Amino acid sequence: MKSRVLSAILLVVIFLPLLIIGGIPFSILMGLIAVLAFYELIHIKETKKKLPLLIKLFAYILVIFFTLHSTSTIDFQYNMDYIVMSIIIFVFLSPLVFINNSEKYSINDALYLISSVLFIGLSFNLLIVTRNYDLRYILYLFLITTMTDSFALFTGRLVGKHKLTSISPKKTIEGLLGGTFMGTFISVAFYHTVINPSMPLLTIIFITIALSLIGQLGDLVFSAIKRYYGKKDFSELIPGHGGILDRFDSIIFVVLAFIIVLRII
């Protein structure tokens, strides 16, 4: 418990100032975190099968490029870069012809790398784009995930009796409800007072509830990945917390959903 608290304090001390500063410092931080997150996906994959070193090297380069690609924004919109997508698909599918040995590199490996690069690169790129557009938006998203996770844990431990899913045995229905309620209440208050007081309150509440639930879905999706590979955490990079993906699982899904919400509203 002590290491968990100390790690959390250290993370806040490092992360929060760079988040507030934004710009290049925050982009560099997100690039580093994206690389570490991708490493965790590769590492957990290699518990079952090793991947060719050269292909992994290209994968890391593409993750960095995708994360830091086109992060300047005036209007908050994200347009998919088909050139980047094409390069990623080409890089990982072409080796199938030259290696021609499924024991060393198979179509499943190629699709895993394609999806992992796209998933990590897009997610952390969106975090940078969101921060570059408006600090208040990124604070709102982090507020949703941190408050939801914290109160879900607290409520689950205090009154949790009904198991939510076998994917994550410690999660309870009571925890989900408590986390969603408090995460929504605090985040709606922030949005309504700091970001846009003129937006209808019911609209803010509906959006925030949806994002809170999607964040918890992200947590469960990553838990399912760990369960498939027989792991408790993605890594031991953060003492008491696990790995990067154990901390960023919710915000990744929330920021992906938020860009959809902005197009709708």
- Same domain, residue pair 5 and 129: yes
Cβ neighbours for 168, distance < 8 A, ≥ 6 positions apart: 219, 220, 223
How many domains is the chain built from? Answer: 2
Identify the pLDDT of residue 82.
Answer: 78
Among 110, 133, 156, the domain-final residue is 133
Is the separation of the CB atoms in 42 and 100 below 8 Å? no
Q: What is the pLDDT of residues 24-59, one digit of tens each?
A: 999 999 999 999 999 999 999 999 999 999 999 999
- Same domain, residue pair 142 and 230: yes
pTM of the model: 0.90
- Same domain, residue pair 62 and 25: yes
Q: What is the pLDDT of residues 118-134, one digit of tens each?
A: 999 999 999 999 998 88
- Same domain, residue pair 123 and 141: no
Among 109, 133, 157, the domain-final residue is 133
- Same domain, residue pair 40 and 79: yes
Identify the pLDDT of residue 76.
Answer: 57
Q: What is the pLDDT of residues 203-252, one digit of tens each?
A: 999 999 999 999 999 999 999 999 999 888 888 887 767 889 988 999 99
Q: Residue 83: pLDDT band by 50, 70, 90 thresholds? A: confident
Is the separation of the CB atoms in 26 and 18 below 8 Å? yes
Q: What is the pLDDT of residues 139-161, one digit of tens each?
A: 999 999 999 999 998 898 888 78
What does pLDDT average to over the chain?
89
- Same domain, residue pair 196 and 126: no
Q: Residue 79: pLDDT band by 50, 70, 90 thresholds? A: low
Residue 101 above 70 pLDDT? yes
- Same domain, residue pair 127 and 144: no
- Same domain, residue pair 199 and 108: no
- Same domain, residue pair 168 and 239: yes
Q: What does 91-115 look like in DSSP terms, one character per residue?
A: HHHTHHHHH--TTTS-HHHHHHHHH
- Same domain, residue pair 157 and 216: yes
Question: Six-digit token pair at 150?
Answer: 């914290």
Q: Which domain holds residue 231?
A: 135-265
Among 104, 133, 162, the domain-final residue is 133
- Same domain, residue pair 11 and 56: yes
Is the separation of the CB atoms in 30 and 63 below 8 Å? no
- Same domain, residue pair 1 and 129: yes
